[in-house]
Structure 1
Amino acid sequence: METLNQRINTRFPDNYQAGFNPNREQGRDYGDDRAAAIATASAAVAAALRGGATVRQAAEAGASSIGI
């Protein structure tokens, strides 16, 4: 799950992190993208765990649900 969290942070930084990265658009609001990604990944993780997946499998399901 920590790996999923790191991947989300890299792909969907919060606005504070994005402000210090020279490769990011300064005027873009990353908060909405991040919130949607976390909601989608969380739902996929929960569904996978309810279906009997391991934590690693659930994390991969969450990552694939948001394309990372």
Structure 2
Amino acid sequence: MSVLEIGEQIKARRKTLRITQPDLAEMAEISVNTLYKIERGQANPTIEILNKIANVLGMEIKLEVKQPKL
């Protein structure tokens, strides 16, 4: 999943929950500017920041082993 796709997922979930960017940023204890850049795919957030956002939005971060292409 690309940084842009991650940002799109976060934005879509935030909008579904009707949470504004400033409110989400405050709840996740990150800056509004950081959240803005993440949602636009212009940032390379740490796992820690993504985890904070995911916890507020009721999401989880999963790492999976890729299946080999046959």
- TM interval, short-chain normalised: 0.3 to 0.5
Q: TM-score, normalised by structure 1?
A: 0.35
Query: What TM-score comes out, normalization by structure 2 length?
Result: 0.34
